[in-house]
Amino acid sequence: MVKKKSKNARKERTKAKRIAHSLPAQEDKHELKISAIEEGTVIDHIPTDATFKVVEILHLGQHNGIVSIATNLQSRKIGRKGIVKVAQKNLTQEEVNKIAVVAPDATVNIIKNFHVREKIKVKSPDVVDNVIKCSNPACITNNEQLNTKFYVVKKDPLKVKCHYCERVMGKEDIGIV
């Protein structure tokens, strides 16, 4: 009985060692918290509170490739940040614009063969179609099957205005469709 136990313990030790060995030695410490991808997109410098909004905007719940989400990471640039890595996905310009609504300082990295091929700085759009949910319960978009449409009236801090009911909403009221 005692013998069996120690055998198991030894097995576990070996296993843990093997995992540690498989980590790339020269990789940035920061990046170890979230696995590298071969092909796809990395969205970096997302404000922590917007990380899951980015996930929603890109409908990653339905994505078939690997999705890694990290939040509350330390960032010299923005304090705490989130990173979303999506394997086998290229973002459309429309998707990049949508991300800018909730993460105006985000960078989008296109990954090919484990390396960053292109770095895109997001840019706030002037009109936001079907991303933001209107906070006015009486708004037609909350009562009929209709895509929402908002005009960006101020970029930083974000202020948007509903095309239909003209409600003006700040960053804290913004929900995702």
Binding site for Zn ion (CB under 5 A): 134, 136, 139, 162, 164-165, 167
Residue 134: partners with Cβ closer than 8 Å, 6 or more residues away:
141, 142, 148, 150, 162, 164, 165, 167, 169
CA dist 18 and 89 (Å) reads 30
CB of 173 to Zn ion, least distance (A): 11
CB closer to Zn ion, 73 vs 139: 139
CB of 165 to Zn ion, least distance (A): 3
| DSSP structure string for 83-115 | EEEEET----HHHHHHHHHH-TT-EEEEEETTE
CB of 127 to Zn ion, least distance (A): 14
CB closer to Zn ion, 120 vs 165: 165
CB closer to Zn ion, 63 vs 163: 163
